[in-house]
Amino acid sequence: ECEVAAVTYFSGPGKDSWPLCAVTLERRANEGGGDAADQARRLAVTLQCGTSLPDILVESDRFNQSTKPWREGETCKMFFANEALTGGHWYQGKCVSQDAGDDPWESVKVRWDDGEEMQVSPWELRRMEEADD
Among 64, 69, 47, which Cα is nearest to 56's? 47
CA angle centred on 100, ends 124 and 70, rounded to 5° = 45
DSSP assignments along 94-123, one per residue = EEEEE--SS--TT-EEEEETTS-EEEE-GG
What pLDDT does residue 10 have? 79
Q: Give the pLDDT means over successive 10-residue stretches in the chain (133 positions).
A: 82 70 79 55 76 69 87 94 82 94 91 96 90 73
**Distance (Å, whole) CA 125 – CA 76:** 6
What pLDDT does residue 119 have? 96
- pTM summary value: 0.66
Among 49, 57, 54, 52, which Cα is nearest to 12's? 49
What pLDDT does residue 59 have? 78
What pLDDT does residue 39 have? 47
Average per-residue pLDDT in the chain? 82
Residue 124 φ then ψ, to 5° = -85, -20
